[in-house]
């Protein structure tokens, strides 16, 4: 796991103060700046990798744009930073002092362009980190107050990027609880397009801090120059795309400054969260693959590990936890070939037993009326069945009805002068992570659970409330506006301590479903829960959107019951399994309510998933046919890095008689090798015509395969759903 803490270790430094262009490169991309001493730094180019000769020519001809426009002398066009100096002056005019390169605490190369205001002792460093072996460059800013008294930051974007106008389209994600990560694609028009989060704790439930910009018109998954940007922050953010009357759109991204002016003490340095930039000329698909590779290498816990196939208890029993029920679920998942059982909410509480969502958060002691032998006995039971055991917690929260709140009423986020504002269950409260005592509590919750349950394999870490009632008793009167920022610093500090103490345990990032996938928190987690909506059809859309920015290895995707608990739609178990298999496969169901036939099918699906798990979880994603395009079907595939193996998923999204669906052409294969096709999770009475046959990658990518619209099954088994999983193996 990589540290995301801003403090950088200066291991080796080379300093220059010339007019030479600063050329930051990755294998396929270049970011070119000019940093002339005494002048404002200029961003000249971001895109496909330049040769040194091109870089020199570009530097000679391009005028470029101020790389970090500051408010004060510039007032009418977009600015990235705004400061009120100790004397009340609101102007800022930074000029380059030097440029240096160093190696950070994780051994990664950083280039810093250092500036100082021409009148005031305020220093700003523009920092760039290229991640070796990927096409991702982090960009962030470090602002240091050298004045004798505090200054106030009212705008402090992580980065500014000018994007040449033309026919530029934005791709981003929007939604709500149980409807997360809907893909939205729109052209940039004059005005300001803002993507904003104000939740305080869950910053991806409604919108996401990751975007793509397609430079050549309507976004295409296979072609076109495309920029990707992912803000590595877990708190409130703001992404602005400003289109004024100039030749460029201005991209500004960073912490949402609303209600968060930051007082920078004398000598203090404020580091903004990094904005990860990537570029591909292979369209939105190319950008996704760049981000996924980066995530799998640098931004996830245990990227090398195969994720286990699990059964989670939530939709199966909700709060109705008891020993016999947990044993039965473990027996069932083990008998279907699963590898892990996770006991969700409802297992804890002393004075206040957790029988619904209105009590007990914070009281992380086993409810022995439900589990008389305790949780350690469940871990042992799981081991006796050959599977791992996981447990649910929500450590950043409490309820008004809890022993924790009775003991520490001052530990919650609230204005000192008002009654607490409650959330879920009418009683939930957010603990004040800015307070070090609360950070200690959160760390201790995890330490104690791991100590009390030797062999515990997995933790599901949930967070079901945003910040309301702005206030922190810990921060004191002069730092109330730091609440959102300090809350997140506190969370990261706690997570850092937890991961240092428990590097091996698997932890899932969950927040009312998919409320938290972002690249600030993910380095501490192995995976995330995509949504509380487990309906397979809606998941086709949500997983499609989520996959724009996050890799399949991290996307928890579960087979749930029929009818589905959120949409009440009934889909066959094959469709549910085929959709779940395109991410990290799991189950979210009461197995004892399944028919034997469904269990047999799931046993087969789990065995099949084990065959393709390395490709799904560690391979490259190619999106083939978007459900959002309304063609009646969706299709995606994964290809392993050597292009030896691939798996194609195909889902019908609507059914009409005499329907005409597009034939899907494949992608990412070696055109000159042949691949044998095998259908997995097959239900048809007869094999597909191409079963066991080999085709060249070229044929598959230029012509595709004709996938039947329906399944050939016995009459009484016919229904309106259809899906396919095809395994492709290169002929040796
Ligand atoms: C919200 C999560 O998203 C669900 O999966 C489940 O863990 C519940 N919380 C439990 O309260």
Residue 6 has pLDDT above 90, yes or no: no
Question: Once rounded to an integer, what is the mean pLDDT over residues 483-508?
Answer: 98
Q: How far is the CA of 1 from the centre of ligand 1 (A)?
A: 26
pLDDT interval class at 9 (50, 70, 90): very low
Q: How far is the CA of 394 from the centre of ligand 1 (A)?
A: 9
The Cα–Cα gap between 123 and 268 comes to 11
Residue 12 has pLDDT above 70, yes or no: no
Question: Once rounded to an integer, what is the mean pLDDT over residues 603-631?
Answer: 98
Cβ neighbour number for residue 454 with a 10 Å cutoff: 10
- What's the mean pLDDT when you consider all of the chain? 96
Residue 7 has pLDDT above 60, yes or no: no
The sign one gets for the Cα dihedral 78, 81, 86, 91 is: negative
Pocket of ligand 1 (CB under 6 A): 314, 344-345, 357, 392, 462, 464, 510, 512-513, 529, 532
Mutation choice for ligand 1 from 464, 527, 528, 557, CB with most ligand atoms inside 8 A: 464
The pLDDT of residue 434 is 98
- Percent of the chain, pLDDT > 70? 97
The pLDDT of residue 293 is 98
The three state secondary structure string of 331-359 is HHHHHCCCCEEEECCCCECCCCCCCCCCC
E-strand ranges in 495-583 read: 506-509, 527-529, 555-560
Beta bridge partners of 46: 31
Count how many Cα atoms sit within 13 Å of the Cα of residue 94 in the half-sphere of its side chain: 32
Residue 72 has pLDDT above 80, yes or no: yes
Mutation choice for ligand 1 from 202, 317, 345, 390, CB with most ligand atoms inside 8 A: 345
Question: Once rounded to an integer, what is the mean pLDDT over residues 423-436?
Answer: 98
Tokens in use for 110? Answer: 């950083």
Q: How far is the CA of 461 from the centre of ligand 1 (A)?
A: 9
Residue 3 has pLDDT above 80, yes or no: no
Mutation choice for ligand 1 from 311, 317, 392, 560, CB with most ligand atoms inside 8 A: 392
Question: Which atom of ligand 1 is the closest one to the Cα of 515?
Answer: 3
The Cα–Cα gap between 47 and 29 comes to 6
pLDDT interval class at 10 (50, 70, 90): very low
Strand-strand pairing, 506-509 and 527-529: parallel
The pLDDT of residue 16 is 53
Q: Is pTM beyond 0.75 here?
A: yes
The dihedral formed by the CA atoms of 466, 470, 472 and 475, expressed in degrees to the nearest 10: 120
The Cα–Cα gap between 96 and 115 comes to 4
Mutation choice for ligand 1 from 312, 344, 355, 558, CB with most ligand atoms inside 8 A: 344
Question: Which atom of ligand 1 is the closest one to the Cα of 312?
Answer: 5
Question: Once rounded to an integer, what is the mean pLDDT over residues 546-567?
Answer: 98
Buried b (16+ CB within 10 A) or exposed e, 689-720: ebeeeebbbebbbeebbebeeebeeeeeeeee
Question: Once rounded to an integer, what is the mean pLDDT over residues 181-195?
Answer: 98
What's the CA angle centered on 59, arms 58 and 64, to 5 degrees?
90
The pLDDT of residue 15 is 55
Question: Once rounded to an integer, what is the mean pLDDT over residues 635-642?
Answer: 98
The pLDDT of residue 20 is 72
Question: Once rounded to an integer, what is the mean pLDDT over residues 49-70?
Answer: 97
Q: How far is the CA of 588 from the centre of ligand 1 (A)?
A: 11
Question: Once rounded to an integer, what is the mean pLDDT over residues 285-301?
Answer: 98
Q: Is the bond preceding 563 in cis, omega lying within 30 degrees of 0?
A: yes
Beta bridge partners of 15: 100
Question: Once rounded to an integer, what is the mean pLDDT over residues 372-381?
Answer: 98
Q: How far is the CA of 514 from the centre of ligand 1 (A)?
A: 10
pLDDT digits (tens, 9 = 90+) for 78-93: 999 999 999 999 999 9
Question: Once rounded to an integer, what is the mean pLDDT over residues 143-150?
Answer: 98
């Amino acid at each position: 796991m990589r540290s995301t803490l801003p403090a950088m270790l200066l291991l080796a430094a080379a300093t220059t103060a010339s007019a030479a262009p600063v050329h930051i490169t990755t294998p396929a991309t270049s970011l070119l700046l000019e940093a002339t001493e005494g002048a404002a730094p200029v961003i000249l180019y971001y895109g496909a990798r330049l040769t040194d000769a091109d870089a020199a020519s570009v530097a000679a001809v391009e005028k470029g744009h101020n790389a970090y426009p500051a408010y004060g002398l510039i007032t009418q066009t977009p600015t990235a930073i705004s400061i009120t100096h100790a004397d009340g002056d609101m102007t800022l005019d930074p000029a380059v002092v030097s440029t240096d390169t160093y190696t950070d605490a994780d051994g990664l190369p950083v280039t810093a362009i250092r500036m100082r205001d021409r009148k005031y002792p305020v220093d700003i460093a523009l920092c760039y980190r290229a991640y070796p072996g990927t096409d991702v460059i982090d960009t962030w800013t470090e602002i240091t107050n050298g004045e004798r008294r505090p200054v106030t930051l009212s705008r402090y974007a992580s980065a500014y990027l000018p994007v040449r106008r033309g026919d530029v389209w934005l791709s981003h994600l929007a939604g709500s609880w149980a409807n997360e990560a809907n893909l939205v694609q729109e052209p940039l028009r004059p005005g300001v397009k803002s993507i904003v989060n104000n939740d305080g704790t869950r910053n991806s439930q409604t919108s996401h801090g990751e975007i793509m910009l397609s430079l050549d018109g309507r976004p295409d998954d296979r072609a076109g120059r495309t920029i990707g940007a992912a803000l590595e922050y877990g708190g409130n953010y703001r992404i602005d795309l400003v289109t004024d009357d100039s030749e460029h759109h201005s991209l500004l991204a960073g912490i949402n400054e609303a209600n968060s002016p930051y007082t920078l003490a004398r000598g203090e340095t404020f580091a903004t969260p990094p904005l990860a930039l990537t570029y591909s000329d292979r369209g939105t698909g190319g950008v996704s693959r760049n981000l996924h590779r980066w995530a799998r290498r640098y931004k996830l816990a245990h990227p090398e590990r195969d994720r286990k196939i699990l059964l989670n208890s939530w939709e199966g029993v909700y709060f109705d936890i008891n020993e016999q029920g947990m044993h039965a679920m473990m027996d069932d998942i083990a008998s279907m070939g699963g590898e892990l059982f996770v006991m969700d909410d409802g297992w804890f509480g002393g004075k206040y037993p957790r029988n619904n969502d209105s009590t007990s958060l914070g009281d992380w002691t086993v409810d022995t009326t439900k589990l008389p032998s305790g949780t350690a006995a469940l871990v042992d039971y799981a081991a006796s069945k050959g599977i791992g055991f996981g447990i649910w917690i929500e450590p950043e929260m409490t309820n008004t009805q809890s022993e924790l709140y009775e003991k520490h009423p001052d530990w919650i986020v609230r204005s000192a002068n008002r009654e607490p504002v409650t959330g879920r269950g009418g009683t939930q409260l957010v603990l004040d992570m800015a307070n070090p005592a609360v950070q200690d509590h959160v760390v201790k919750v995890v330490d104690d659970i791991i100590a009390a349950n030797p062999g515990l394999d997995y933790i599901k870490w949930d967070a079901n409330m945003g910040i309301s009632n702005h206030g922190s008793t810990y921060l004191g009167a002069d730092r109330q506006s730091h609440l959102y920022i300090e809350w997140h610093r506190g969370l990261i500090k706690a997570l850092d301590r937890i991961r240092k103490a428990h590097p091996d345990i698997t932890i899932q990032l969950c927040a009312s479903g998919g409320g938290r996938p972002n690249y600030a928190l993910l380095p501490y987690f192995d995976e995330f829960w995509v949504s509380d909506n487990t309906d397979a059809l809606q998941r086709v859309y949500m997983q499609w959107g989520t996959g724009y920015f996050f890799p399949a290895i991290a996307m928890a995707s579960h087979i749930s019951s029929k009818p589905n608990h959120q949409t009440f739609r009934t889909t066959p178990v094959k469709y549910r399994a085929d959709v779940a298999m395109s991410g990290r496969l799991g189950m979210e169901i009461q197995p004892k309510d399944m028919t034997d036939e469904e269990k047999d099918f799931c046993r087969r699906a789990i065995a099949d998933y084990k065959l393709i798990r390395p490709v799904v979880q560690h391979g490259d994603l190619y999106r083939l046919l978007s459900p959002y395009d309304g063609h009646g079907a969706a299709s995606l595939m994964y290809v392993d890095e050597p292009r030896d193996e691939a798996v194609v998923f195909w889902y019908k999204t609507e059914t009409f008689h005499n329907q005409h669906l597009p034939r899907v052409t494949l992608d990412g294969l070696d055109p000159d090798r042949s691949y044998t096709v095998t259908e997995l999770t097959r239900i048809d009475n007869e094999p597909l015509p191409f079963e066991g046959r080999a085709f060249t990658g070229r044929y598959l990518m230029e012509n595709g395969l004709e996938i039947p619209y329906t399944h050939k099954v016995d009459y009484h088994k016919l229904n309106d759903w259809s899906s396919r999983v095809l395994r492709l193996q290169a002929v040796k």
